[in-house]
Amino acid sequence: MVSASGHEAVRQCDALTGQLYSDHADYLFRPYLGSAHLRAIERVSEWMSDAGMTTRVDAAGNLVGRYGEGAKALIVGSHIDSVRDAGNYDGPLGVMLGIQLCAALNATGRKLPFAIEVYAFGDEEGSRFPAPMLCSRAVAGTLNVAAFDVVDAQGMTLADALTTAGLDVGHFLDAKRDPAGILGYLEAHIEQGPVLEAEDLPLGIVTAIAAQIRYQARVTGVAGHAGTNAMSLRKDALTGAAEMMLAIERIAGAGPSDLVGTVGRLSAAPGAPNVVPGEVVFTIDLRAGTLETLQPAEAAVVSELHAIAARRGLTLQLDCTHQLPPSPCAPAFRAMLSRAVESLGLKARDIVSGAGHDAMIFSPIVPSAMLFIRCKDGISHNPLESVDPDDADLALKAMLAFIDHLEAAYA
Ligand code: GLV
Ligand code: MN
Ligand code: MN
């Protein structure tokens, strides 16, 4: 059997790629409940069993591996779904490090006064249904049934997607765990930014995760003949959307550096070279470290977009699809993680996460902490994502030292 290591975690992430584990022939794309996701569950489940864990798939399609016994469990989680044209490590590395953590404990037969449960969440990215972190929200018990009312780009409902995977939307909320049985939540994740690399540090301690809000905008004009409609008489939904996107860029760019705004997806109909576009649908993603920064920016975007639509004679419908407040990590857990990193002779660099994580869902409910791992050139959500396996080894050592502190503090 291969001995537990960060190198092995990186190898496992690399093995979870290619045709079997992607639903797109040309790049890595593993949306929630797609066939690649279901095959990934099988493979990761084997790795969990090899690490001495019992496994199950819960009612929301999360793979759960449990190591050890105890009335309470530390959840070590991250996600195995991916964005479109993804890298290998955003999500899977945290899951594989959780498995390696259990493998390391298992190798010495170490018994803890609490169990460790590694959760491979099924949907964090929201890249299939417009509802990110659906699966961790089910586990935390913070999901509203209205969240089930989503369809994917092919028009398939969440209920039907669950059925194809042998699951039942009527039982989705059964994935909920009683917080009284959760000791806390730990997530390891690549930084997805350039700070650690710039400071020549392999690991960082997340202090808080930025607030985020997403909208779907639907701009409706009038489709018409590209040759006969004089420019001054058009109601072009696409040029209107273009002006809206530039307004979002301007508003976000005028704020503090933690305020960011992105239009990541756009579709224009009917989509022909000789037809003035009649309808455009696009997404808006706004984030900031505090609500004091995010909320005025959101209000400015909403009002500016409506003003542009009115001036151009277009109709604008804005639907909020996702909203999360800023999520501070728990001071006691952060301190234990910092001591764990320092015990390796490393600086425990505090860092704010601009990216969203499943940890955001757990931090209001149980003590939560996040360990960041340096990634090459800060690149993520991109196939060029790269992690030094030696950094992953350090992350595993820090997680083991964190477990020592948690055990010592366990009453
Ligand atoms: C997840 O990767 C997000 O921050 O959107
Ligand atoms: Mn991501
Ligand atoms: Mn992620």
Per-residue pLDDT tens digits for 272-288: 999 999 999 999 999 99
The confidence score (pLDDT) of residue 337 equals: 98
* Å from CA of 190 to ligand 2 middle: 10
What's the 357 CA to ligand 1 centre distance in angstroms? 7
Q: Is the dihedral of CA 367, 373, 379, 380 positive or negative?
A: negative
Closest CA to 349 of 367, 330, 378, 371: 371
208-229 pLDDT per residue, tens: 999 999 999 999 999 999 999 9
Looking at residue 154, its amino acid is: Q
Nearest-ligand number for the alpha carbon of 213:
1
Residue closest via CA to ligand 1's atom 3 equals 356
Structure token pair of residue 123: 């949907």
Which mutation among 129, 209, 360, 381 tests ligand 1's pocket best, with the greatest number of atoms within 8 A of CB? 381
Which atom of ligand 1 lies at the shortest distance from residue 381's CA?
A: 2
Alpha-carbon gap, residue 51 to 67, rounded angstroms? 8
190: CB partners within 8 A, 6+ apart: 89, 90, 93, 372, 373, 374, 375, 380, 385, 387
pLDDT (0 to 100) of residue 146: 86
CA dihedral 57, 61, 67, 68 (to 10 degrees): -70
| Distance in Å, CA 21 to ligand 2 centroid | 17
* Beta strands 327-328; 275-276: pairing state: unpaired
> How many C-beta atoms surround the C-beta of residue 353 within 10 A?
25
| Closest residue by CA, ligand 1 atom 1 | 356
pLDDT band at residue 148, thresholds of 50, 70 and 90? very high
The binding-site residues of ligand 1, defined as CB within 6 angstroms of any ligand atom, are: 125, 355-356
Summary mean pLDDT of the chain? 97
Binning pLDDT at 50, 70 and 90, where does residue 349 land? very high
Residue 301: the pLDDT is 98
Q: Map tokens 């009284």 to a residue.
A: 180
Share of the chain above pLDDT 90, in %: 97
Q: Counting ligands in written order, which one lies closest to the CA of residue 80?
A: 3
CA of 354 from ligand 1 middle (Å) equals 8
**pLDDT exceeds 90 at position 411:** no
Position 144 pLDDT exceeds 90: no
- Strands 279-288 and 275-276 come out as unpaired
